[in-house]
Amino acid sequence: MDKNNYVLIMAGGVGSRFWPKSRNHFPKQFLDILGTGKSLLQITYNRFLKICPADHIFIVTNSQYNDIILDQLKGISPDQLICEPSRNNTAPCIAYASFKLAALNPDANLIVAPSDHFILFEDIFIERLLFALAYTNKHEALVTLGISPVRPDTGYGYIQYGKETEEGIYKVEQFREKPSLQKAQEYLSDGNYLWNAGIFIWKASAIISALKKYTPDIYRLFESGREYYNTPEEQAFIDENYSRSPNISIDYAIMEQADNIYTIPANFGWSDLGTWASLHETADKDSENNVVAARQINLKDTQNSIIHINTNKLAVIRGLDNFIVVDDGNALLIYPKDQEQEIKEVVKQMSESYGDRFI
């Protein structure tokens, strides 16, 4: 393994589209949502042990999840948790982590990846990442893995790419927001669009240079803490200054502005597991195309649905087609699967009406 390879696992989100399983106090990255006996974070962490040693894997998270992470990732050091005291989106937390790792190793070559994605073909995934790391080790480049689309999906952002600059490396022309169905069909027909999976590869020095050029306010904020990184004074500096950073994603702050953005097309059976429907596509199904997680259930005349029931509850269900049924703690969700994009807003309304104890 290359001693300069590091991984930043992003594990601070709340996964609101997976409500009611995913809650603010215990979001989806910490759940065994696939029924494997391991949480999504544990699966992701184990996957990256093929890239670098355990002490080179850092978890970027919100401070409220410290204890959960230390409990789930046995042997990880508290020093490997990079804790944001407030949620200011991805650009500030990536900036903080990059400055910290650059202080630890000026030649640090980073993978930045979500904690809660599904990867079917891990060997291909690892091979593509090692290919990307070899490229960023030699070039001042910001690289993203792009997923070759298999359908005109309106739930993902897209990467429009241009000419091949080296074998397997393509210049990014533009990032596109989540499209309409018609536009997504056009992207698929054009053949030079990829799904944006939010998986980035770059040297710490390269992303810091980009921050200095394109978001000088974020750069100056975290540059001012150089003397504190990896010292006992680091957390005090972050607690005092982090909330002053703007709330902005790395896509808006850097990726849509920089001129040294490249992509590597890949197909390794990826899903962002962003919704119940995406879990339905990914998980094993019964003969009626249902995904069922329940120990005590009587299911009849039901198809194309996803059903998660607490293990201590008996469920009797009949006559559903294309529904989500999730029972968890003090909340029950029964919703048409093809209308699940509404769930996030409904949960917000419920919070305003009944308080955060349900969220």
Architecture of domain 5-271: Alpha-Beta Complex (3.90)
**Residue 334 above 80 pLDDT?**
yes
| 180 contacts 174 by C-beta, under 8 angstroms | no
Distance CA 212, CA 202 (A): 15
**DSSP per position, 75-122:** T--GGGEEEESS---HHHHHHHHHHHHHHH-TT-EEEEEESS-EES-H
What are the extents of the domains in the chain? 5-271, 276-354
What value does the mean pLDDT take over residues 266-294? 90
Distance CA 139, CA 137 (A): 6
pLDDT of residue 315: 92
Q: What percent of the chain has pLDDT over 90?
A: 74
**Residue 136 above 80 pLDDT?**
yes
Q: Closest Cα to residue 183, out of 223, 141, 154, 218?
A: 154
What value does the mean pLDDT take over residues 144-172? 92
Tokens at 22, concatenated: 């995913």
**Residue 75 above 90 pLDDT?**
no
pLDDT of residue 130: 97
What value does the mean pLDDT take over residues 156-175? 94
3-state secondary structure of 214: helix
pLDDT of residue 155: 83
* Least trusted range by pLDDT, from 118-132, 204-218, 224-238, 279-293: 279-293
3-state secondary structure of 209: helix
**Residue 17 above 90 pLDDT?**
no
Neighbour tally for 23: CB within 10 Å: 22
pLDDT of residue 78: 93
| 288 contacts 306 by C-beta, under 8 angstroms | no
Q: Residue 290: pLDDT band by 50, 70, 90 thresholds?
A: very high
Q: Residue 346: pLDDT band by 50, 70, 90 thresholds?
A: confident
- Alpha-helical runs (H) found in the chain: 40-48, 66-72, 90-104, 122-138, 181-190, 204-214, 216-223, 234-241, 250, 276-282, 343-354
pTM of structure: 0.90
Q: Residue 344: pLDDT band by 50, 70, 90 thresholds?
A: confident
What value does the mean pLDDT take over residues 259-275? 92
